[in-house]
A and B are shown apart, each in its own frame.
Chain A
Amino acid sequence: MNDHAWILLGLFMAMLLLLARPMGIYISRVMTMGNHESWVSGVEKAVFRACGIQRDEEMGWLQYALAVVLFNALGLLAVYALQRLQPWLPLNPQAMANVSPDSAFNTAVSFVTNTNWQGYGGESTMGYLIQMLGLTVQNFVSAATGIAVAIALVRGFARHSATGIGNAWADIFRATTWILLPLSLLFALFLSSQGVIQNFAAYQEVTTLDVTRYEAPRLDADGQPLQDEQGNPVMERASTATQTLAMGPVASQEAIKMLGTNGGGFFNANSAHPFENPTPLVNFLQMLSIFLIPGALCIAFGCIVGDERQGWTVFAAMALLFVSFAIGAIGFEQQGNPLLAQVGETEATSVRTTALSDGNMEGKEARFGIADSALFATVTTAASCGAVNAMHDSFTPLGGAVPLVMMQLGEVVFGGVGSGLYGMLIFAVLAVFIAGLMIGRTPEYLGKKIEAHEMKMTSIAILATPLLVLVGTAAAVMTEAGRAGIANPGAHGFAEILYAFSSAANNNGSAFAGFSANTPFYNVLLALAMWFGRFAVIVPVLAMAGSLAAKKRIPVSAGTLPTHGPLFVALLVGVVLLVGLLNYVPALALGPVVEHLVLWSTR
């Protein structure tokens, strides 16, 4: 960590602290607003009447869960259909073909579940209509779904002796229209002022200054690459003096991609692409916009349960975990790659490079350098965003382990929009349960007694994702089709598979991107991991919200364990780390740990 990195991290946390409270208060007001007359209420009245929604109708947890799953299933169908019908749809100037059934299914699940894992390259697969009407829409509504579920759980704590946990339609509509849309509009316009493109033009061809000479595979009459007897492609010399610039409505998608912790890039290189993330200033604001709503939701939680300290406690636990991991990631990347420090066979012919002093620059952009890239990597994986401004596959072993572990902790370090809060509250319930066992008292959280039903739901929600990750990884490692996706040899290859399943099941969406996942095997397996990683958590969370809402509130007494303050922060952090480590240490030892030891012993 050099001075620049400390200043950057400090400034980032300061800005987040500054924005979290006003934003949190705003969110709590929007999500709990009544029906007093105003233009907002007028708009809602008209919309809800047209849609056949009873605004004041309270839903029980089961009805709420059905509504959420049904709404997301519709999204799944829509995104799948749009991709399959692409050649016949408008706004496709590059005449992109329809997407294969397995890839279209994977992408549809991916965007509906707020994962935004991408097996395809954006600018060479998706026309503008799909980017907008398919993917951008899901960026909004999947994030709104997360907010809705989180608020429903918070209502479970805030209410007592109640049968309902809110109205799913009203919650999704309000989160989209009054929270995500105005923020995205502002951010998109800022982005486009800074150079993020926003147009519907065909790709722009330009004449370059220098001629590019390269080797390309020779194609046969059908456009397929020719192969020699050994099965290697036959290469031929080629040259070009032009460059084709990909275009599109990028800024509008970029804004919600960050604010909704979606992370699906318009382009293959995601936020490393200069048209998505042109300057370090934009980069900083992109990082901030990832954490803005997840951070603010902690405060909204405190406001709704009527004790802001509860919200700040959750926020503090998240911030503590985040800052420690960010310092690690920046430090590890700054160490560089010892194998590149000296290039050449013999002492006499070898050439020195600045690999150790300048850090690990493979897969990073010069404008961001080490600190701004490693911080972004921590932010994007602490939150379940998954946008990348550097290629995590090329990170140092331990630098790459930071994003991996951040995902494996269950996306609760700020986490996804909504999903971070409900994930962390599940851990808070577990923490009071464990503390209750230690001090011999009935566990309670926010005045609600935690009983067998709540602990069952907590266990399902916490154990579903590790199960998906570890079983999925094992299945992939043991099959030919699974091993075929590996790009890098050795322990890193195992880490690529582990990363893919950690990312999918925790709905992050970033990747060790050398990994070839666009095959029927991975498209289907990862889609299943994403779907169940999302809804096998959401459904138990809503079930718990329902049972909590029905409970009476116990008044605070001398025997109540306070769930605010440093002691509870430490307890919460401890539980998150403990569960994460118990689940994943053996798998991590086989991947990044082995790779780290090999790297520094072979120098």
Chain B
Amino acid sequence: MKALLRPALSLFVLLSVVTGLVYPMLVTGVARIAFPDAAAGSLIMRDGKPIGSALIGQNFSDPKYFWGRPSATAPQPYNAAASAGSNQGPLNPALADAVKARVAALRAADPGNQRPVPIDLVTASASGLDPHISPAAADYQLERVARTRHLEVKAVRQLVAENTEGRDLGVFGEPRVHVLNLNLALDAHAR
């Protein structure tokens, strides 16, 4: 046992330094030079100030904005310092209640809209920070946003199209609309 102790200790210290300090520092160094924006969090700047990350969703509840996925982070939704899903099971009554309340809020903001509600717009995302909604969820909100902003539906539809991505390389993931970029474009359009 004693004969094993020295190799065990020295190998552990050596591998700790290599994989726990040298490796992450090296990756940080190269990433900072090669991909500075991405390594720092893909921040979006407006007037010289950071107003969000291109990868992290924000909470929207004003009818003039497109709303994102419901978020289960605490205490406030889209808390990017404490990511979390709801973890509600399919039979949990709290899930059905939450969906009902979200549907009611959507309908209250747009009483005339009789279309089926896209499910991603009323179910919480896994991270609580989902930056995207489905194209159907954007389409569902189009007329509300246009009406609130006194814009033509066509103009808003154009902005939605500009902020829609297809599947990665045509095969991976789902088509999606970037909510923060879309709302930024709407604000810029108004200026």
Assembly CA distance A251 to B19 (angstroms): 13
| Contact among B5, B129, B136 with A269 in the assembled complex (CB-CB below 8 Å) | B129
Is B190 among interface residues, defined by CB-CB distance under 8 A? no
**Residue-wise interface mask of B (89-110) relative to A, using a CB-CB cutoff of 8 A (1 in contact, 0 not):** 1111101100110010001000
Taken residue by residue from 13 to 32, chain A's Cβ proximity to chain B (1 for < 8 Å, 0 otherwise) reads as 00000000000000000000
Q: How far is the CB of A167 from chain B (nearest CB, A)?
A: 10
What residues of B have a CB within 8 angstroms of the CB of A177 in the complex?
A: 15, 18
Query: Within B39-95, which residues are at the interface with A (CB < 8 Å)?
Result: 39-43, 49-62, 65, 69, 75-93, 95
B55 touches A278 (CB 8 A): yes
B90 near A366: Cβ-Cβ < 8 Å:
no
| Interface residue A7 (Cβ < 8 Å from any Cβ of B) | yes
Are the C-beta atoms of B26 and A185 separated by less than 8 Å? yes
A453 to B1 alpha-carbon distance, docked (Å):
25
Contact B11 A71 (CB under 8 A): yes
Contact residues, A58-115 vs B (CB, 8 A): 63, 66-67, 70-71, 74-75, 78
Interface flag for A437 (CB, 8 Å)? no
Chain B residues with Cβ under 8 A from A197's Cβ? 38-41
Q: Of B18, B31, B92, B173, which one neighbours A181 at CB under 8 angstroms?
A: B18
- Whether B127 and A273, one on each chain, are in contact in the complex, defined by CB atoms closer than 8 angstroms, is yes
Cα–Cα distance between A283 and B93 once the two chains are bound (Å): 32
Minimum distance in angstroms from B87 CB to a CB of chain A? 3
Distance to closest chain A CB from B146 (angstroms): 18
Residues of A351-371 whose CB lies within 8 A of B: 351-355, 358-369
Q: Which listed residue, A193, A283, A354, A397, touches B90 by the CB 8 Å rule?
A: A397
Report if A519 contacts B (CB, 8 A): no
Contact between B127 and A216, CB atoms less than 8 A apart: no
Measured in the bound complex, the distance between the Cα atoms of B9 and A51 in whole Å is 8
Please name all residues of chain B whose beta carbon is closer than 8 Å to the beta carbon of A490 when the two chains form the complex: 89, 91
For B, the interface residue count at a CB cutoff of 8 angstroms equals 106
| Residues of chain A within 8 A of B90, CB atoms compared | 337, 339, 360, 362, 394-397, 492, 595, 599
Contact between B80 and A244, CB atoms less than 8 A apart:
yes
Q: In the complex, what distance in Å separates the CA atom of A295 from the CA atom of B31? A: 29
Interface string of B8-27 (1 = CB under 8 A from A): 11111011101111011011
- Inter-chain contacts of B132 with A (CB < 8 A): 365-367
> A411 CA to B21 CA in the complex, in Å?
31
Flag whether A204 is at the interface (Cβ < 8 A). Answer: yes
B11 is contacted by which of A51, A252, A393, A599 (Cβ under 8 Å)? A51
Given the known interface contacts A280-B167, A281-B169, the answer about A185 and B23 at a Cβ–Cβ threshold of 8 Å is yes
A354 is contacted by which of B28, B78, B119 (Cβ under 8 Å)?
Answer: B119
* CB contact between B8 and one of A71, A176, A215, A283 (< 8 Å): that residue: A71
Q: Are A214 and B76 in touch, CB under 8 angstroms? A: yes
Q: Which of A279, A489, A514 contacts B173 (CB 8 A)?
A: A279
Partner of B99, one of A133, A172, A340, A514: A340
CB–CB B127/A8 < 8 A: no
- Which residues of chain A from 401 to 433 have a CB within 8 Å of any chain B CB? none
- Complex interface: chain A residues within 8 A of B35 (CB): 192-193
A489 to chain B, nearest CB (A): 7
Once the chains bind, are A251 and B27 in contact (CB under 8 Å)?
Answer: yes
Find residues 364-395 in chain A having any chain B CB closer than 8 Å to their own CB: 364-369, 372-373, 388-391, 393-395
Stretch at the interface among A136-144, A461-469, A542-550, A576-584: A136-144
Q: Are A251 and B75 in contact (CB under 8 A)?
A: no
Verify B1–A136 contact, CB threshold 8 A: no
- Given the complex, which residues of B lie within 8 Å of A354, measured CB to CB? 116-119, 136
Cβ contact within 8 Å between A487 and B87: yes
Interface of A is mostly: mixed
| B149 in contact (CB, < 8 A) | no
- A234 in contact (CB, < 8 A): no
Q: A252-B27, A253-B24, A269-B84 are in contact. Are A361 and B55 (CB under 8 A)?
A: no
Q: Would A394 and B10 count as touching, CB distance under 8 A?
A: no
Quick check: B51 and A207 within 8 Å, CB to CB? yes
Contact of A50 among B10, B19, B43, B82 (CB under 8 A): B10
Considering the complex, give the chain A residue whose CB is closest to the CB of B76. Answer: A214
Bound form: Cα–Cα A283–B174 in Å: 12
Q: Is A226 an interface residue (CB 8 A)?
A: no
Q: For the complex, is A291 an interface residue (Cβ under 8 Å from B)?
A: no
Contact of A213 among B27, B39, B56, B61 (CB under 8 A): B61
Of A172, A188, A281, A512, which is within 8 A of B87 by CB?
A512
> A157 interface residue, CB < 8 Å from B?
no
**Across the interface, do B92 and A492 meet the contact criterion of CB distance under 8 Å?**
yes
Tell whether A199 is near chain B: CB-to-CB under 8 Å. yes
- Do residues A192 and B38 form an inter-chain contact, with CB atoms below 8 A? yes
Compute how far the CA of A209 lies from the CA of B179 in the bound complex, rounded to whole angstroms: 11
Q: Which residues of A contact B5 (CB under 8 A)?
A: 70
Contact B124 A363 (CB under 8 A): yes
A40 within 8 A of partner (CB): no
Task: Give the complex CA separation of A136 and B83 in angstroms.
Answer: 21
Tell me if A141 and B15 are in contact (CB < 8 A).
yes
Chain A neighbourhood of B169, CB < 8 A? 281
Closest Cβ of chain A to B39, distance in Å, is 5
Q: Return chain A residues, CB-CB under 8 Å to B81.
A: 123-124, 203, 244-246
**B176–A366 CB distance below 8 A:** yes
Within 151-191 of B, Cβ neighbours of A (below 8 Å) are at 167-169, 171-174, 176, 180, 183-184, 187
Sorted from nearest, which 10 A-B pairs have the closest CB atoms? A280-B173, A514-B87, A369-B174, A272-B126, A269-B83, A391-B85, A280-B172, A488-B89, A269-B127, A51-B10
Besides A188-B27, A393-B89, 13 other A-B contacts (C-beta < 8 A): A4-B171, A50-B10, A52-B6, A141-B19, A192-B39, A210-B61, A249-B24, A340-B99, A363-B124, A364-B125, A366-B120, A394-B90, A514-B89
